[in-house]
Structures are given as C-alpha cells and as structure tokens.
Amino acid sequence: MKTVKHDFGDNSHPLTDLDSNLSLPQLEQPRQNTWKKPLTYLGLILAGAGITVASLHLLPYTQPLPQALQPSLAETANQASGNLATDSNPNFITAVVHQVGSAVVRIDSTRTIKNPNAAIFNDPLIQQFFGYDLPKVPSQEIERGIGSGFIIDSNGEVLTNAHVVNGADTVSVTLKDGRTFKGKVMGADPVTDIAVVKIEANNLPTVRLGNSDKLQPGAWAIAIGNPLGLDNTVTHGIISAIGRSSSQVGMPNERVDYIQTDAPINPGNSGGPLLNASGEVVGINTAIIQNSEGLGFAIPINTAKKIATQLISTGKVNHPYLGIQMLTLTPEVKEQINSDPNSPITVEESQGVLIVKVAPKSPANTGGIRAGDVIVKANNQPINNAQELQQAVENTSAGKSLQLQIMRNRQILNLSLEPRALPANTK
C-alpha cells in the first residue's frame, strides 16, 4: 500500500486500489506498484496539518483558448525559436531562463480545516481532569500552501497542478515582478492533476508549449519554480525516462504517463514548468519519490493541453470508465496466481489483462465482463498491459462503444461496452 503526501498537510493517508470498495463506480485500476518509497506531491506547507475534503465549484468559462493552447500559434513559435542548446551558446540555460522566467508564477493558497485536537482539549471531562487552565484550542485552523504555475495566456490563464488549488478557500498568484493577483479556479481535474487558474490582468508574459510526444531520454530538462518557498529557483538535468505509468510511480489513481527527470525538484515546485533546451514547456513538475535523489516526475504537456482546453471551455473533464480492477499478465504473474492456494481464480493465459474485480452496476458489469476474464484486444488492437487498456478506455468518446475480445474458460468472446463518464466523487 502506497502513502502519498499532499500539498495540504503533513499527515498522510493510505492510498489503496480504488476498486477495493466496489459499491461505487471505480477507475480502471492497475494492480501493480513497484516503488517501495512513498511518492510526495511537490507542494510546500507553511502552517497547519491535515487534509480537508472541501468541495470546489468549477466555474465554466467560454472565452477563446489561451495563446499557448492554440496549435497554429504554438507551431509558428516553435519553428521560429530554434534550439538554444548549441555549441555556440554554452549558456543556453541562462537564455531559457531569461526567455521563460517572467511567465513562471508563485501560487499561494489557503484552506480552513478542522483541528483534530480541538475535540480532545476542549472536552469538559479533560478540562476537569487536567484543570481548567488548559488553553482553549480553536476548532478550525488555516492551512497555507505554496506551489508554482506558468502563464499560458497574456490575459491571465495560469496552468498548475490540481492538488495545489483543490479545495482552497483563497488562491493568490504572484508574478516575478512582485505583483500579486487574486486567483479564481476555472477548473481542476484530480484524475490528471491539472488545474487552470484565472487572474484579472493583461499583457502578461507567456510560455511556449512544446510537444512532449517527441521527448527522448537523455534530452536536457530545466525546472523553474518555488522549491521550499524560494521563488524563481532554476535547476537542470535530463529527461531520465518517458511513459512511466501512474501505477509504476505509485499514483495508480491518476491517468497519466509521466516524464521522469533527474532535474532537482522539491516541495513548492508543484505546477511549475519542465522545459526543454529550446525553452518550451514539455511537462508540469508534480511529484518526487521520498528519500531519493534524481527521481522526479512531470505530467507531459500534451496531456496538460488536452485537459486545460476542456477546463477552460467547460470547467470540468469527463473521463470514461468501465469499473474494473485489473492486472497485467506475465508468465511470472500467471505462475504466482495459479500456485496460490487462496487464489479464487486460475489463469490459462500468460499475456493480456486479467480482470480481478468488477464494480456492481458499472459499464463493465452491465456489458458482461466478469472477474477472471482476460482482455486480449480492444478495438481489434492487441492489449499487452493494463496501461494500454486504460488508454483505450480514455480514448473512447462519450456515446461510443469499445469492442473487447476476451478469453473466458479457454473460449474467445467478443463484447461491446459503452464506457460512462467517471463520477466526480470517485477520485
């Protein structure tokens, strides 16, 4: 079981498979966690402790898309920029920082939480036993967090992590020039950990968004943010790996294939940009593995662009789901399942995706999927692991069917399922 620390709070809560409680619709949850160390979001807590589950009103917005999200403008800028990392420019990192730094912001947020000690210290019996000189403990306290973000539109749209602003009572955005603005959360998507914040300003400096699909391990990586509250800190390294699944890095609740980088990032970097050598944003710094060096993770900017576009236009994101818990099959996994005397199922296949559980009243349940089934194809494409199946579900538009080929009791079955929108409270 993984433990994830969020931006708001020094205490942690266990992160378990979503499908462990099947009374609610669940995410397509891969059951494979390889990290032994807990993953930490990169927010910084200044005061207070605890995690609140306050609801956040997502405000729809119908203005034109920010400049950074308009493909034609981004492509034109990319063609004109060139690569700053050349033999004739040994100080290309300085050039990147000069080009991008003014568009990186600090995000401060506050939220009101219940004080867990209030009920104990204010109990009349406790007061009587220890004496009435015990100090009164307030029932609520204010929690303050620090994160980062970057401006994607000159009229004040800022891209950041959802966990930086989710449930916040107040959000403020501070520019590099010292100006501070009140922020309004246009929308936040916890499934991908992306949020857009709006500030009332214009003629602001903006970043250029790159193409994270073209990233290669070994490429330069530059991070700008507010680690440990130290504003506008710059670090650099390389892209260590791409396509790290959410289950691999210890956040199976999220639907992201992460960029891994060794560029030093710390609490407070959450929501800040990860840049390439041309000064283009290729990722959003999000998390690190605790007590380790060189293991940071960023959300690919192509994922962020897709989500931000929906948040800006509607204030929310509809993620399709089936309602299954699943496991990638390998010969080793097959042997482990079949050799376990307590296993409720046996497996004949050594490749594909094993269905471990099915949520009641879910699309998978009504579509005929059963625990013990092995999915081998989706829309006539081979499925080799849980991430491929999850991506196939994510790519299925609302109202469209997903064609699955499964193995059940050594027989091939073809099923047609219609994924539904993931309920907002599932996350």
Between residues 23 and 378, the one the model is more confident about: 378
Q: How high does pLDDT run on average in the chain? A: 79
With a cut of 50, say whether residue 207 has pLDDT above it: yes
pLDDT at 234 over 70: yes
Catalytic residue among 17, 153, 193, 373: 193
Question: Quick one: average pLDDT of 184-189?
Answer: 94
Q: Which one of 6, 163, 236, 319 is the catalytic residue?
A: 163
Q: Is 163 a catalytic residue?
A: yes
Q: Is the pLDDT of residue 350 over 50?
A: yes
pLDDT interval class at 39 (50, 70, 90): low
Q: What is the pLDDT of residues 83-115, one digit of tens each?
A: 666 555 668 899 999 999 999 999 999 988 776
Confidence of residue 48 (pLDDT cuts 50, 70, 90): very low
Identified catalytic residue from 109, 270, 278, 362: 270
pLDDT digits (tens, 9 = 90+) for 145-169: 899 999 999 999 999 999 999 889 9
- Confirm whether 72 is a catalytic residue: no
Question: Active site includes 270?
Answer: yes
409-421 pLDDT tens trace = 989 999 999 998 8
Burial of 151 (0-12, 13-18, 19+ CB in 10 A): buried
